[in-house]
Structure 1
Amino acid sequence: MANNRALQDTLHRIDGQGYGTYREIRGTHQFEDFRLSVDKVQVDPYAPPSLMRVILEPGVVGLPAELIDDAAGRTAVSDFLTRRFAEAIGDHARSAAEAGKDSAGKGSAVSIGTPGQQVLERTSVLIAEDRIEARIAVELPASGRRIRGRQAARILTDQLPQIVDAALKHKNLDAGALAEHVRLYRDQQSLREQLGTAGLVGFVGAGAILPRRSGDSDAPLKQGAVPFIAPDSLRVSFDLPSGLSVTGMGVPEGVTVIVGGGYHGKSTLLRALERGVYSHVAGDGREWVIAREATSTIRAEDGRAVTGVDISAFISGLPSGADTRSFSSENASGSTSQAANLVEALEAGSTALLIDEDTSATNFMIRDERMRRLIADEREPITPFIDRVRPLWTQQGVSTVLVAGGSGAFFDVADQVIALDEYVPKDVTQAAGEIARSDAATGGDTDAASDAADVESAGQELIFSHDRRPRVPASTALAERGKTKPATARGRSVIQYGRERVDLAAVAQLVDAAQTQAIAHAMDRLAETFDGESSLAKAVTALLARIDDDGVDALSPHRGHPGHLARPRAQEIHAAVNRYRHLQLAGGGHR
């Protein structure tokens, strides 16, 4: 592929000049079979990289029509091309290092993002009817604050065309691997859509590898991992669009309790279901661990801000007199934060909850019989989750999957109990039920779980269906004082919103920094649309509808290159807004 002589000449001419002279290359440059649009040039060597788009005609790329004739196919192909582009960048960086041409020792100046184990809808590669775009970032080289124009010319007019040729043209790709990538993603999405009809909240395929390599790695454990075996009583099969049939364990709707000894795989199974809201690449081990999209992990989160959340189903009659029908706190406790997290998940449309006792507030989860005898119920403001988990299902249709390693209290209210024994699951529902019935018959300590069943059968007040007004953000809900720049992500866990840092470290199903950047932009878009009349849920739903119509690009404040973004779920957008410490609700946040 021929380089662009005019761009090369310009970069040679400005070699050694002040860094700001790089602005001369802004605009569109025509190469032999693609255009390079330089949309934003960094202002100095220490600023964020320059943003550029490689634009090709569909005929030049040559993608088979059957791979991109639906949204799932386009998402999968975009993901594949992004990964191939990143690999090609790495190949060229290694070649340059071996040839001694990478004098700075920094690796490649070109980047396109770093996809992880999940296949997400991204902005990195756009597949449209009239063009294919690769959105890249380029660190334009400098010596101090002087332009290294000749090195920049090698990057943009020599290396980049080679990367484009290797990564974006179908004739140079592994066609079989691309087709398989699309097939797998389409099948995974189909299975996820079938879960509701099958009465399941999740599915774990036989042979799945659930353990990860380490606590800070999402890659699969290669040695010593026990392949997943589905219990016969929970075994289900699905037929998929490709003709493939997969078999594994179905996790039914209702209340599922996962038990077992320490280090036998309880939390590992729950974490796999947690990430099952996303599809995974081949070789991840969790390709067939699939959860409903509207599944939320719930945990305690000491110190988070809470604004106007109705947690009265769990906490009421506080000694301070605070109205828990519209609870606010700058520094929520373990129990109040977990109650708020749960109610906010329902507000975001979640239909299944994942809860691990290890990350929960004990007094939020259970209150045993001895404590009830010592402290009368009317003196305890917390109604524990064990008393509410059944009404969540019977009144709201919200399922719960709960890991319990230290208490059998939830046996009384469970629809199914799964025990992990050396990483092998067993259906112990019958045995757990017999234990619960035996304790009830002998007056044993049942942690008052039977009281929860009595509450439900007695037809008490509809705990989750009484008249609750949705939270309505004020028109100034996200009006941060002194905010002059767009919100931005600081890695996966933090959004810088004006002077305020929104901490998302406890939002467990946020998996990619590109998602966090998309959420930062989503907060800015919501700030523009809040009118003091529409609920938060309605505003987020409308924003997601824009993404459905226009892609993740719709979140970006920039023309041309939108930045490297990945589609977030409604749950994570809600989570970010809810953790903004200066959030304002219409009417001051009160009922």
Structure 2
Amino acid sequence: MKTAEELRDLLNRIDRRSYPAYKDTRGSYRFPGYVLFIDHVQGDPFAAPSKLSIRVPGRTAGYPEELYNNPRKKTALEDYLIRSFAKRAGKFSFQAKGSGKSGVIQVTRCGQEILKRTACTIDAHTGDVTVRFEVGFPANGRTINAKELIKILYNYLPECVKGGIYYQSQDAVQVRKVMELAEDQASIRAQLEGNGLVAFVANGSILPRESGVSGKPLKDSVPFVSPKELEVTMDLPYRGKIVGMGIKKGITLIVGGGYHGKSTLLKALESGVYPHVAGDGREYVVTDETAVKVRAEDGRSIRNVDISMFIGQLPNGKDTKSFYTEDASGSTSQAANVMESIEAGSKTLLMDEDTSATNFMVRDELMQRVIHREMEPITPFIERVRMLYEKYKISTVLVAGSSGAYFEVADTIIQMDCYVPREITELAKEEAKGYPRLQLPEDTPVLPDFDRKVKPSAGLRQKGRVKLKTMGRDGVMLNHETIDLRYVEQLADAEQLTMLGQITRYLEEEVFDGRKTLKQAVEQVAEQLETKGASVVCEGNVLPGNLAFPRRQEIYACLNRYRKLGTLEQKERRQ
């Protein structure tokens, strides 16, 4: 390891040379209070900025061990430090001048969710804090401007480290509140099972968002207040008693007029699988962490999924016990999404009538009389939803605005009225008595064994290094293959998609062997991520600063939409 002065001497020597001379700066340098790592140097001033990291020893950082002595506290503190460092770095970004991206200092931009990220990591044993970020090395044209880089490394960064990372520079009360909120959120999640709930929405929560592209709370919106019939009290370790609406296990129907808050409530429940920062309005909205939003997804690929619980004998003779298509319909895609969610371990399905295939969800009495059951291969979800809960303990929360068919099968019915929830189960059930009862099919299907074995696809490395490209929250590319993730709605951050790309590449190269099932492969990589960290799935075990951890459910969702996924067909496995 070299000293900071050695780096300064090097920069002075290469000043005004051609830009590639910056490559000589790669390495580690000891600065007062921290070590600077120059991990990757950009090829020219117009390319992606250079990748740097800073490691502050635990004694210097100074955070009490009680603030990071379990995974949820640690993640919350890491998230706080990313935001703190980024706030200070933003003040200095582009203060150093030059061409292209010269002078940019950028760190992961966190949203409202608290996600485990690689931009900041705290060593659970030593308390060492590592922050990963990017810097545009300054140039005039394509000539090195070392004096401007010296400004960044010797004037700006020390201020960012001191003000953004050191505990002595932080508001100790605010840091402690971050830890307390993380513990309270975890306490609610732990109490869901004991209270027979799939979700909890605290009174006073602000559910509406500013806009469709903003995660911030809408100003002057109606605070959430639970109906008395559904009120639950949670006893939290720091906040104490908190009252809100408990959504019970079973089948919950959310109804109401248009623009009255049905989908807003469901969106909050979707996002409730993640903890949220203070001030978000949904800090105390907590959902079963295995919950999956299920929708129709026309055109997606399906790789040998057993959808026979919902789709029977098709006219074209396709095997629905090992259904394969490159261009799914609305009904077959939603059937596959349900089965894949169950395979991924989901115990709660979240659905919105607006994004569902009508023929998958329900068939009215008149249609049943005209098109007899034996002529219709689709068994609608309404005829299976009760069985899924009673036999397999898989709950459903469904938003419906136009069809009252689910009144009969629902356990709890909530009406949203101008963003105020009302419990109307008894009223709706009474009204439903005047309509013909639902005719359920006689068969009682069983869940498949989910034994899809996966082999590696050929040619992933035909041209050397696998190229990964993330397209925001729409998808990720492996070489020229795009995995479309637009409709995996619980992906909260583009960095989760980047991580999914890394995971897919790793599984293809290291895990898929034709003997393991998809479930075994995903569980293996999930366990490795938990025990060894994100570097296990990165090439050369080099950890970039732009990754955020997805849930197991999103790993499954990504692989199921990967068109090169080499699942073996049923008939191949029988041989």
**Gap change, CA 1:477 and 1:437, over 3 Å in 2:** farther
Matches within 5 A, 1:35-434: 35-93=35-93, 96=95, 102=97, 109-128=104-123, 129-130=125-126, 131-223=128-220, 225-242=221-238, 244-434=240-430
* Percent of residue pairs bearing the same amino acid type: 43
Matching of residue 462 in structure 1 with residue 444 in structure 2: yes
C-alpha contact 1:301 1:338 (8 A) present in aligned 2: yes
Query: CA shift at 1:475, angstroms?
Result: 3.7
1:37 is paired with a residue of what secondary structure? strand
C-alpha contact 1:15 1:148 (8 A) present in aligned 2: yes
Aligned AA (1:179): R
Q: Which moved more, 1:163-172 or 1:431-440?
A: 431-440
Distance across 1 between alignment mates of 2:415 and 2:520: 40
C-alpha contact 1:391 1:464 (8 A) present in aligned 2: no
**Gap change, CA 1:499 and 1:481, over 3 Å in 2:** farther
Residue aligning to 1:451: 439
Query: CA shift at 1:561, angstroms?
Result: 3.9
Matching of residue 568 in structure 1 with residue 556 in structure 2: no
1:135 is paired with a residue of what secondary structure? strand
Residue aligning to 1:582: 564
**Gap change, CA 1:336 and 1:585, over 3 Å in 2:** same
Query: CA shift at 1:321, angstroms?
Result: 0.7
**Gap change, CA 1:565 and 1:461, over 3 Å in 2:** same
Distance across 2 between alignment mates of 1:261 and 1:590: 50
C-alpha contact 2:101 2:138 (8 A) present in aligned 1: no
What are the superposed Cα offsets for residues 138-182 of structure 1, whole Å, 9 maximum, x if unpaired?
221223322222111111222111111110100101111111011
Query: CA shift at 1:583, angstroms?
Result: 1.6
C-alpha contact 2:36 2:52 (8 A) present in aligned 1: yes
Query: CA shift at 1:37, angstroms?
Result: 1.2
Q: Which moved more, 1:125-134 or 1:570-579?
A: 125-134
Distance across 2 between alignment mates of 1:480 and 1:19: 31
> What TM-score, normalized to structure 2?
0.95
What are the superposed Cα offsets for residues 226-277 of structure 1, whole Å, 9 maximum, x if unpaired?
0001011100011122252211000000000000001000000000000000
Matching of residue 502 in structure 1 with residue 483 in structure 2: yes
Distance across 2 between alignment mates of 1:349 and 1:585: 19
Query: CA shift at 1:471, angstroms?
Result: 1.3
Aligned AA (2:203): A
C-alpha contact 1:62 1:169 (8 A) present in aligned 2: yes
Distance across 2 between alignment mates of 1:479 and 1:163: 41
Matching of residue 533 in structure 1 with residue 529 in structure 2: no
2:408 is paired with a residue of what secondary structure? helix
Aligned AA (2:108): G
C-alpha contact 2:101 2:136 (8 A) present in aligned 1: no
C-alpha contact 1:93 1:107 (8 A) present in aligned 2: no
Distance across 2 between alignment mates of 1:556 and 1:589: 35
Aligned AA (2:439): D
C-alpha contact 1:39 1:561 (8 A) present in aligned 2: no
C-alpha contact 1:488 1:521 (8 A) present in aligned 2: no
1:195 is paired with a residue of what secondary structure? helix
Alignment gaps of 5+ in structure 2: none
2:55 is paired with a residue of what secondary structure? strand
Query: CA shift at 1:35, angstroms?
Result: 0.8
CA RMSD of aligned residues (A): 2.0
Matching of residue 546 in structure 1 with residue 534 in structure 2: no
Distance across 2 between alignment mates of 1:248 and 1:583: 43
Distance across 2 between alignment mates of 1:365 and 1:135: 46
What are the superposed Cα offsets for residues 256-300 of structure 1, whole Å, 9 maximum, x if unpaired?
000000100000000000000000000000011100110000001
Residue aligning to 2:471: 490
Query: CA shift at 1:461, angstroms?
Result: 4.1
C-alpha contact 2:16 2:145 (8 A) present in aligned 1: yes
Query: CA shift at 1:462, angstroms?
Result: 3.4
1:280 is paired with a residue of what secondary structure? coil
> What TM-score, normalized to structure 1?
0.92
C-alpha contact 2:75 2:116 (8 A) present in aligned 1: yes
Aligned AA (1:244): G
Distance across 2 between alignment mates of 1:48 and 1:38: 14
Distance across 1 between alignment mates of 2:469 and 2:539: 11
C-alpha contact 2:534 2:543 (8 A) present in aligned 1: no
Query: CA shift at 1:434, angstroms?
Result: 0.7
**Gap change, CA 1:107 and 1:270, over 3 Å in 2:** farther
Aligned AA (2:466): K
2:177 is paired with a residue of what secondary structure? helix
**Gap change, CA 1:205 and 1:56, over 3 Å in 2:** same
Which of 481, 492, 496 in structure 2 is aligned with 1:511? 492
Count of equivalent residues:
568
Distance across 2 between alignment mates of 1:304 and 1:481: 26
